[in-house]
Structure 1
Amino acid sequence: MGCRRRLINPDFRVPSMKVIVIVNPHAKNGMALKKFTRLIPICEKEKIDYWITAAPLDAVHRMKDYLSRHPDEKVIFLGVGGDGTMHELINGAAGFPNALIASISAGSGNDFGRHYSSFPFTEQSLRWLKQWDGKAEKQDSVYFKGDKSGWFVNNLGIGFDALVAYSANQSFLKKWFNRFKLGKLIYAFYLLRHLFRYQPQEMEIWLDGKAHRYKDVWFITAANQPYYGGGMKIAPSANSSDGILDMIIVHQLSRWKFLAVFISVFFGSHLRFKEVEHLSGRKVQIKVFSEAFIHADGEFGGVLSEKSPLWIQLHSKSWNHIRTDKHGS
């Protein structure tokens, strides 16, 4: 019996995904862009698009425009940057079930990558994503509306921590600290600067319809995952796919004890203090009695005033995440 000849279709191609890499050219003082330029040849070879963002919210606008014009095409958006970059990708993908999100951590805090995972900065990562045909993880996201509105997937803070984040992000010192790979110290600098000036205030929280009132609140955090501030475990038990939002309230502390509590957040041991309360729910309304800064995923989220409350609502399994595995290493 003779050998059967195998017929080969010359037009056969391994199925491939549409991949768009979004690079923040300012991440790590330009180091992320410098590293990415070495991957441009593989992007061109594999027909992987890449966008270098030109301004804040550029990624959001370009993603929404692309996804609106290609509603039936599954697209992987790979963010190259830090938490601010990934915050933009989440907001750009909001409302588009055909968008899938992956990341290469290249910022100073990288809490997104710390929790959700991050791909290595390699050619293999790009090739693997281009040929990806797996099942995306469904993760929770949280919508907020106050002075500003948008989505977050890490955490949102009101009060002292948001003021520190705003000051650090606006400071010319941040670039200097990042140059010497000391980016996290900028937050410590402004923490100490604001510690003896900040005035805690009374706040009201309605959590799933139940009212809670607190005096002398330093800050409130709504956490979708454990980490913020570059690895601090603000909500150790938070789970981004359980349909529950963790609320951390820090109140009625002296300034020196507050400093001790804040340091303990690095180890996730702050919950043992009686002045730190942990609640959970899905729908939140927060009212303040004097102005308070807001951050969402570390980015400026507006200023909350006594005139209007902040609304927060968790949306279960509302975005698609691609987790790293051995093929992406």
Structure 2
Amino acid sequence: MDERKGPYAPMYYFIVNPSAGSGRGRRVWKAIACYMDLHNIEYEAVLTGSVGDARIAARELTEKKRQPGLLIVVGGSGTVNEVLDGAVLHGIFDLGYIPAGTGNDLSRCLHIPKRTIRCLKKQLYPRHFSMVDYGVLSLGSSEISHRRFMVSAGMGFDAAVCCAASASRLRGIMGRLGLGKLFCFLLGLCQAAGCRSSRGYILLDGVKKVEFNHILFISCHIQPSEGGGFVFAPRADGSDGRMNVCVVSHSSRKRLIPVMLQALTGRFKKHKGARMFECREVSIHTDAPLPVHVDGEFCGTQTDLRAECISRQIRMGI
């Protein structure tokens, strides 16, 4: 007899991006649906068709807070970002994740199994739960726009790379070949030549102000890596209620090359032009508008941002 049956059995809601990973999302979902049907486990599924659909589906599924239930995302980091951003949160948010994208930074940071069915079983029959942080990014000096994120958000060079990657047709092909990190590195080299810098400052927890003359990028991390495995914040812990902020500021764009190489190998260390900070919230100002990203999704250009860490409000079975 299935232990999931009975008056207190949880309901499983899937939000699936079939296009994630250049079609990998569809293949992963077929395997999941087959397992769920074979074991007579009740579930509902929403398959997205375009950008924004996952956000709408998450809002509709959570605004009335049906309980008990688990919302499981099948897709990449961008799909998870949409679901988190669209969900109506009523305290602790029960979230599951089965990776099907190209970068999969979140699954890497949370040590989620790569094999689909093994990963699904972790969601259905968790041995214990992990309470995970998420971030909120406020855009603009008036902070009229807000975006949640689970991995990282920032502005400058890394956002420009994210924008170029999302627009490239080669991203999915290189990802399927296992060359996603190499693709992002080469794309970063191309973007570095024309990378724009700006004067500006950061304000940590409303107390400590640090000024910079040549900001190339600022990234705020809940999790250690971004961009498909570039570890810019090796000390970041997604459950400690704090963010790690990486600031790279230097007059020479060539300084970006050793930064990328170190991040690519996971051995990011302090060196000239790169500084690390830890805080619960940070306000960022740049004199010139710089591109902004949230979990790898391009959000236009801004001069003012504020990022805040929301501590341990997402519950994930592992």
| Structural mapping, 1:23-62, within 5 Å | 23-44=16-37, 45-62=40-57
CA distance in structure 1 between the partners assigned to 2:7 and 2:115 by the alignment: 23
Q: Say whether 1:117 aligns with 2:115.
A: no
Question: Is the contact made by 1:46 and 1:127 (CA closer than 8 Å) also made in structure 2?
Answer: no
Task: Say if 1:319 and 1:75 are closer, same or farther in 2 by CA, change over 3 A.
Answer: same
Question: Is the contact made by 1:102 and 1:118 (CA closer than 8 Å) also made in structure 2?
Answer: no
Gaps of 5+ in 1: 1-11, 324-329
SS in 2 for 1:278: strand
Q: Corresponding residue for 1:143?
A: 136
Q: Corresponding residue for 1:249?
A: 247
Q: Say whether 1:88 aligns with 2:85.
A: no
Question: Is the contact made by 2:152 and 2:221 (CA closer than 8 Å) also made in structure 1?
Answer: yes
| Structural mapping, 1:218-233, within 5 Å | 218-233=216-231
User: Once the 2 structures are TM-superposed, how far is the Cα of residue 193 of structure 1 from its aligned partner?
Assistant: 1.8
Task: Say if 1:99 and 1:75 are closer, same or farther in 2 by CA, change over 3 A.
Answer: farther
Q: Say whether 1:167 aligns with 2:161.
A: no
User: Once the 2 structures are TM-superposed, how far is the Cα of residue 161 of structure 1 from its aligned partner?
Assistant: 0.7
User: Once the 2 structures are TM-superposed, how far is the Cα of residue 226 of structure 1 from its aligned partner?
Assistant: 1.0
SS in 2 for 1:237: coil
Q: Corresponding residue for 1:270?
A: 268
User: Once the 2 structures are TM-superposed, how far is the Cα of residue 159 of structure 1 from its aligned partner?
Assistant: 0.2
**Seq. identity, %:** 25
Question: Is the contact made by 2:15 and 2:57 (CA closer than 8 Å) also made in structure 1?
Answer: no
Q: Corresponding residue for 2:58?
A: 63
Question: Is the contact made by 2:105 and 2:227 (CA closer than 8 Å) also made in structure 1?
Answer: yes
CA distance in structure 2 between the partners assigned to 1:319 and 1:171 by the alignment: 32
Q: Greater CA deviation, 173-182 or 13-22? A: 173-182
User: Once the 2 structures are TM-superposed, how far is the Cα of residue 33 of structure 1 from its aligned partner?
Assistant: 0.5
Q: Say whether 1:183 aligns with 2:180.
A: yes
- CA deviation vs aligned residue, 1:221-265 (integer Å, no higher than 9, x gap): 111121112222111111111111111111115232321222111
- CA deviation vs aligned residue, 1:107-144 (integer Å, no higher than 9, x gap): 11111001123255445654664455x65322211111
Question: Is the contact made by 1:158 and 1:221 (CA closer than 8 Å) also made in structure 2?
Answer: yes
SS in 2 for 1:272: coil
Task: Say if 1:120 and 1:280 are closer, same or farther in 2 by CA, change over 3 A.
Answer: closer
- CA deviation vs aligned residue, 1:167-215 (integer Å, no higher than 9, x gap): 1102233244345443334323321222211222112111112211101
CA distance in structure 1 between the partners assigned to 2:176 and 2:130 by the alignment: 35
CA distance in structure 2 between the partners assigned to 1:14 and 1:119 by the alignment: 30
Letter in 1 for 2:315: N
Gaps of 5+ in 2: none
CA distance in structure 1 between the partners assigned to 2:177 and 2:237 by the alignment: 34
Letter in 1 for 2:253: R
Question: Is the contact made by 2:24 and 2:101 (CA closer than 8 Å) also made in structure 1?
Answer: no
Which structure has the larger Rg over C-alpha atoms? 1
User: Once the 2 structures are TM-superposed, how far is the Cα of residue 286 of structure 1 from its aligned partner?
Assistant: 0.7
TM-score of the aligned structures, taking structure 1 as reference length: 0.85
SS in 2 for 1:29: helix
Q: Greater CA deviation, 161-170 or 56-65? A: 56-65
Q: Corresponding residue for 2:232?
A: 234
RMSD of aligned C-alpha atoms? Answer: 2.3
Aligned residues: 307
Question: Is the contact made by 1:74 and 1:98 (CA closer than 8 Å) also made in structure 2?
Answer: no
Q: Corresponding residue for 1:9?
A: none
